[in-house]
């Protein structure tokens, strides 16, 4: 059987936030925070996270975590091809202005790149609403 290996495209999108890095980090790294904007429900046991939307469940593993700075998840759907792919939230603070921004990095199939960016725009809009940062 022949399976085509489609390489996914890496992308990053940056968003400005009117929130402290500590508060923002809570909404990116905890099941209760993530379930306010990212998924309908989020459960975790150690580094294993379960994201639930309506009747869909996706597993992810927490593979990198630096408090108030960065958190990286890797989808765990049992396919080895996906082992190189992750999504990451990185909080950046401008040293001079103290402006806070969130950089979201992810991978998408080339033909789904625009859709993926639109999805992140929508999700981050929801996060800003929750934080009162919109």
Cβ–Cβ < 8 Å for 105, 11? yes
Q: Domain coordinates of the chain in residue numbers?
A: 11-131
Determine the Cα–Cα distance for residues 9 and 107; give it in Å rounded to an integer. 5
Query: pLDDT tens track of the chain, all 134 residues?
Result: 344 456 899 999 999 999 999 999 999 999 999 999 999 999 999 999 999 999 899 999 999 999 999 999 998 876 666 667 899 999 999 999 999 999 999 999 999 999 999 999 999 999 999 998 76
Tracing tokens 């408090």 back to the chain, one arrives at 67
Question: What pTM value is reported for the model?
Answer: 0.89
Homologous superfamily of 11-131: START domain (3.30.530.20)
Terminal C-alpha separation, the chain: 50
* Dihedral (CA of 91, 8, 61, 129) sign: positive
């Amino acid at each position: 059987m022949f399976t085509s290996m489609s390489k996914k495209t890496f992308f990053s999108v940056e968003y400005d936030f009117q929130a402290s890095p500590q508060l923002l980090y809570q909404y990116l790294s905890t099941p209760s925070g993530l379930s306010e904007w990212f998924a309908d429900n989020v459960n975790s046991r150690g580094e294993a996270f379960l994201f639930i939307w309506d009747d869909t469940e996706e597993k992810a593993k927490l593979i990198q975590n630096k408090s108030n700075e960065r958190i990286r998840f890797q989808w765990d759907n049992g396919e080895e091809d996906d082992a190189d792919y992750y999504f990451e939230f990185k909080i950046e603070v401008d040293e001079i202005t103290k402006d806070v921004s969130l950089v979201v990095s992810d991978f998408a199939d080339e033909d789904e790149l625009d859709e993926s960016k639109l999805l992140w725009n929508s999700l981050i809009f929801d996060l800003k609403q929750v934080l009162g940062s919109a």
